[in-house]
Amino acid sequence: EPEVTQTPSHQVTQMGQEVILRCVPISNHLYFYWYRQILGQKVEFLVSFYNNEISEKSEIFDDQFSVERPDGSNFTLKIRSTKLEDSAMYFCASTRGGITGELFFGEGSRLTVL
Partner 1 sequence: AQKVTQAQTEISVVEKEDVTLDCVYETRDTTYYLFWYKQPPSGELVFLIRRNSFDEQNEISGRYSWNFQKSTSSFNFTITASQVVDSAVYFCALSETLSSGSARQLTFGSGTQLTVLP
Applying CB under 8 A, which residues contact partner 1? 31, 33, 35, 41-45, 48, 50-51, 55-56, 89, 91, 95, 97, 99-108, 110
Q: Closest distance between partner 1 and the C-beta of residue 42, in Å?
A: 5
The smaller minimum CB distance to partner 1, of residues 48 and 82, is found at 48
Return the amino acid letter for 72. Answer: G
- Of 105, 86, 87, 82, the closest CA to residue 95 belongs to 105
Q: Closest distance between partner 1 and the C-beta of residue 105, in Å?
A: 4
Helix (H, G, I), strand (E, B) or coil at 84: helix
The smaller minimum CB distance to partner 1, of residues 84 and 99, is found at 99
Rounded Cα–Cα distance for residues 35 and 96 (Å)? 17
The smaller minimum CB distance to partner 1, of residues 19 and 32, is found at 32
What are the distances in angstroms from CA 32 to CA 13, 76, 104? Answer: 25, 10, 10
